[in-house]
Amino acid sequence: MNQEAIRDKLISRFGQESIVGTVPFRDQITVTVVKEKIREVCLFLRDDPDLDFSFLSFVGGVDRYPDKPRFEVVYQLYSLKHNHRFRVKTMLEEPEKGMPTVDSVTDIWPTANWHERETAEMYGMVFSGHPDPRKLLLPDHWDCHPLRKDFPIEGTDADTPELPKGGKTEVLSS
Amino acid sequence: MREAQPRTLDRISETFELNLGPHHPSTHGVFRAVVELEGETVLNVVPYLGYLHRGYEKACENKHYHQIIPLAERCDYMGASSNSLVFCLTVEKIIDAEVPERAQVIRVMMAELSRIFSHLFWLGTHAHDVGAMTPLFYGLREREEIMNLFELTAGGRLMPNYLRIGGLNRDLEEGFIERLTAFTNHFERRVDEYETLLTKNAIYVDRTKGVGILPLEDAIALGASGPMIRASGLAWDVRKSQPYSGYEQYDFSIPVQWGCDVYSRYLIRVQEMRESNRILKQALAKLPGGPIRARMPGLIFPPQEEIYERMEALIHHFMLVVEGLKPPVCEYYGCIESPRGELGCYIISDGGPKPLRLKWRAPAFVNLETLALMSKGHLFADLIAILSSVDIVLAEVDR
């Protein structure tokens, strides 16, 4: 199936109120799904025989600070049977208190386990229903989220005390 | 004085935890796993990652597109050219650049050389992990030849940093073609030599056959790719399924095995080296002339010799260095077949000179997720063989 057919199938199944945006670029389309429906859409993408997205390439986060909604979670899919790829994503608002939350897809694609653990620690998100919500790459005692745009690239003395001190890294200004 | 407690059955079967790594030669870097053992049998493996985490993606988001290429090669230093290739292909798709034919063929040569390079070192260290010392020396002999080829044409031995957005850094050095031809002519016989050391070696087969079973359904569910999934019986290779850089013009086959075990992964990688050699021979035969970099002023660097002669070229070069390449607002996912599997690069651009987001789909990271499943119920010594059969590069796992 080509990208347009997959998009149309999603829209006809879930309707405009769940599929809130589709952006084509070159030969790929990105479909944005409301947060509440993401599990349902993922299940449909995996189980529908015409789509059959059995392979999850990655789950990743995006921080669009200072734009709103601030966060995105991206799911890049591949169908081994039909040899097509597709990408869905969902937008997350930054709550007043606590962290943005989205449903985990680990039970749909077990490979999402590590991807979600990494995304959670890097962006400060909660994947609800995740079977093993520990940190993956960062030290347990670091209470910071380095891939957020408001986190300085050289780290902070309070949050990342183990990082080597010394002259600040020169970063090319754009 | 207390009498020594008699060893009862329930005391013997008590489980205990053993720390494997982070500094252990069999982990090929700094990988740590807590292994739950009952006697010598592995009950569970819990990997702890991050000892080599350098904040690669964060660093990429703070660099111009052209500056990311050397960083990308440091991600997986065993298949360096594959990493710069996936990044260049993705950016070229975003800016809609057409790479000249000659550059595409040379890129295929570099990618296949890096595949052989990576598999050779894997073969040596894997054999070493299961107790065979000799294959390492044999493998390093040919690996040295490839490193000399990289050095000849690009300067760098491990990380050539030879690809550029839109093409290549420079044309091939004089003598490269002859030396690569000589290499491809004798490499097939060298692979035969490795096979005489291992393929029918009773000790090696005993250590690896039926060890580390990864059924196909689990391999797909856990996102395994590359030799891992091909050893579980699925003929899936991105070079065939969604060809890039002109791979559709080469005649090669995808090796498949159905054993799902360490031995199958070994057979796959050995066979892949032969297929890569076939591709190299075809690339040498068809290498066309012509430019080595596309022309897109303001997006791709102009040819070096023009900078000295033409004012406009100098201006474009200067502006690209200072201001960087500014792609349209977009997002795009590009992927290739690296020595370890599906290597992907997902870029979101906000129209500025630096990517808003660069997500690296590292195949070694995803393949490592299968470790716990594969090693349950095996002996601890087998865990070492299974871990090395995944072919991890910790720099890529931790990024």
Q: So what's the pLDDT on residue B200?
A: 87
Has residue B57 got a pLDDT over 60?
yes
Residue B375, C-beta contacts closer than 8 angstroms, at least 6 positions apart: B42, B45, B212, B382, B383, B386, B387
Q: Which of A62, A147, A174 sits opposite B348 (nearest CB)?
A: A62
Q: So what's the pLDDT on residue B359?
A: 92
Has residue B321 got a pLDDT over 50?
yes
Domain boundaries, chain B: 56-366
Chain A interface, best mutation among B96, B342, B359, B365, by max A CB count within 10 A: B359
Count CB atoms within 10 A of the CB of residue B248. 10
Residue A159 lies in a domain: no
Interface check for B352 against chain A (CB to CB < 8 A): the answer is yes
Interface check for A20 against chain B (CB to CB < 8 A): the answer is no
Can you tell me the mean pLDDT for B194-216? 89
Rounded to a whole number of angstroms, the distance from the CA of A28 to the nearest CA of chain B is: 7
Task: Judge: A85–B94 Cβ closer than 8 Å, yes or no.
Answer: no
B104-148: pLDDT as tens digits: 999 999 999 999 999 999 999 999 888 888 888 998 989 999 999
Q: So what's the pLDDT on residue B377?
A: 85
Residue A53 lies in a domain: yes
Residue A70 lies in a domain: yes
Rounded to a whole number of angstroms, the distance from the CA of B342 to the nearest CA of chain A is: 8
Diameter of chain B by CA atoms?
A: 94
Q: CA A126, CA A102: separation in Å to the nearest integer?
A: 6
Within 124-143 of A, beta carbons closer than 8 Å to B belong to: 135-139
Has residue B89 got a pLDDT over 90?
yes
Task: Judge: B369–A26 Cβ closer than 8 Å, yes or no.
Answer: no
How confident is residue B5, by pLDDT bands cut at 50, 70 and 90? low
How confident is residue B1, by pLDDT bands cut at 50, 70 and 90? very low
Q: CA B177, CA A124: separation in Å to the nearest integer?
A: 51
Element (H, E) at A56: strand A55-63
Using DSSP's 3-state secondary structure scheme, residue A38 falls into helix
Can you tell me the mean pLDDT for B88-95? 92
Which tokens hold the place of B131?
């107790």
Task: Judge: B50–A136 Cβ closer than 8 Å, yes or no.
Answer: yes
Rounded to a whole number of angstroms, the distance from the CA of B396 to the nearest CA of chain A is: 12
Can you tell me the mean pLDDT for B38-60? 88
Residues of B in contact with A28 (CB under 8 A): 331-333
Residue A135 lies in a domain: no
Amino acid at B259: G
Residues of B in contact with A84 (CB under 8 A): none
Q: So what's the pLDDT on residue B43?
A: 87
Q: Taking CA B164 as the corner, what is the angle to CA B159 and CA B170, rounded to the nearest 5 degrees?
A: 85
Query: Could you tell me the pTM of the whole model?
Result: 0.89
Q: CA B380, CA A35: separation in Å to the nearest integer?
A: 44
B226-285: pLDDT as tens digits: 999 999 999 999 998 999 988 989 999 999 998 889 999 999 999 999 999 999 999 999
Q: So what's the pLDDT on residue A3?
A: 84
The CA distances from residue A61 to A31, A102, B244, B257, B277, in Å, are 15, 11, 27, 36, 39
Asked if B365 and B350 count as a contact pair (C-beta separation under 8 A), the reply is no
Among B138, B248, B137, smallest CA distance to B187 is for: B138
Residue A154 lies in a domain: no
Residue A80 lies in a domain: yes
Bridge partners (DSSP) listed for residue A74 = A60, A89
Chain B interface, best mutation among A78, A91, A113, A151, by max B CB count within 10 A: A78
Secondary structure in 3-state letters for chain B? CCCCCCCCHHHHCCCEEEEECCECHHHCCECEEEEEEECCEEEEEEEECCCCCCCHHHHHCCCCHHHHHHHHHHHCHHHHHHHHHHHHHHHHHHHCCCCCHHHHHHHHHHHHHHHHHHHHHHHHHHHHHCCCCHHHHHHHHHHHHHHHHHHHHHCCCCCCCCEECCEECCCCCCCHHHHHHHHHHHHHHHHHHHHHHHCCCHHHHHHHCCCCCCCHHHHHHCCCCCHHHHCCCCCCCHHHHCCCCCHHHCCCCCCCCCCCCHHHHHHHHHHHHHHHHHHHHHHHHHCCCCCCECCCCCCCCCCHHHHCCCHHHHHHHHHHHHHCCCCCCEEEEEEEEECCEEEEEEEEECCCCCCCEEEEECHHHHHHCCHHHHHCCCEHHHHHHHHHHHCCCHHHHHC
Task: Judge: A87–B333 Cβ closer than 8 Å, yes or no.
Answer: yes
Task: Judge: A26–B242 Cβ closer than 8 Å, yes or no.
Answer: no
Q: CA B77, CA B173: separation in Å to the nearest integer?
A: 23
ipTM > 0.90?
no
Has residue B25 got a pLDDT over 90?
no
- DSSP code at position A174: -
Residue A160 lies in a domain: no
B158-183: pLDDT as tens digits: 888 899 898 898 888 888 999 999 99
Q: So what's the pLDDT on residue B11?
A: 54
Residues of A in contact with B353 (CB under 8 A): 174
Mark the ranges of chain A whose per-residue pLDDT is less than 50.
174
Has residue B50 got a pLDDT over 70?
yes
Interface check for A110 against chain B (CB to CB < 8 A): the answer is yes
Q: CA A73, CA A61: separation in Å to the nearest integer?
A: 5
Q: So what's the pLDDT on residue A170?
A: 57
Using DSSP's 3-state secondary structure scheme, residue A49 falls into coil
Chain B interface, best mutation among A2, A25, A58, by max B CB count within 10 A: A58
Has residue B349 got a pLDDT over 80?
yes
Residues of A in contact with B330 (CB under 8 A): 25-26
Tally of structural domains, chain A: 1
Task: Judge: A153–B58 Cβ closer than 8 Å, yes or no.
Answer: yes
How confident is residue B325, by pLDDT bands cut at 50, 70 and 90? confident
> Looking at the domain that runs over B56-366, which CATH code has it been given?
1.10.645.10
Task: Judge: B342–A57 Cβ closer than 8 Å, yes or no.
Answer: yes
B255-265: pLDDT as tens digits: 999 888 999 99
Residues of A in contact with B333 (CB under 8 A): 28, 57, 76, 85, 87
Asked if B346 and B371 count as a contact pair (C-beta separation under 8 A), the reply is no
Residues of B in contact with A139 (CB under 8 A): 50
Name the residue range of residue A118's domain: 3-128
Residues of A in contact with B395 (CB under 8 A): none
Interface check for A144 against chain B (CB to CB < 8 A): the answer is no
Rounded to a whole number of angstroms, the distance from the CA of A56 to the nearest CA of chain B is: 6
Domain with residue A23: its CATH number is 3.30.460.80
Q: So what's the pLDDT on residue B144?
A: 92
